């Protein structure tokens, strides 16, 4: 416990893991909301393709961002 108060143990890598899973669940709902809000005038097939593409790109970018922070904090531990 004393290591926690002396900042010898970093808790951020554990928090980032939680944030990643939370964001991976919330992102699809946010993407769907944005697509519904702007009601793009696309036929159903194009709508689904764009929705899937947006979902995959957001999930990939979210994963890369979280991995960047994990690597950053792993470097700080060394």
Sequence spans of domains, the chain: 2-77
* Bigger pLDDT: 18 vs 3: 18
In eight-state DSSP terms, residue 42 is -
Give the range among 18-22, 40-44, 47-51 with minimum mean pLDDT: 40-44
Whole-model pTM? 0.72
Please give the average per-residue pLDDT across 14-32, as a whole number: 87
Residue 65: exposure state from Cβ atoms within 10 A (0-12, 13-18, ≥19): middle
**CA separation for the pair 64, 66 (Å, rounded):** 6
Per-residue model confidence (pLDDT) at position 60: 93
Helix axes 44-77, 12-38, angle to 10 degrees: 160
């Amino acid at each position: 416990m004393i290591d926690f108060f002396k900042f010898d143990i970093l808790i951020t890598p554990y928090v980032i893991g939680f944030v990643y899973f939370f964001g991976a669940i919330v992102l699809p709902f946010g993407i769907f909301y944005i697509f519904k809000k702007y009601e793009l005038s696309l036929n159903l097939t194009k709508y689904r393709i764009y929705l899937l593409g947006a979902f995959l790109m957001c999930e990939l970018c979210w994963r890369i961002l979280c991995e960047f922070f994990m690597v950053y904090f792993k470097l700080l531990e060394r």
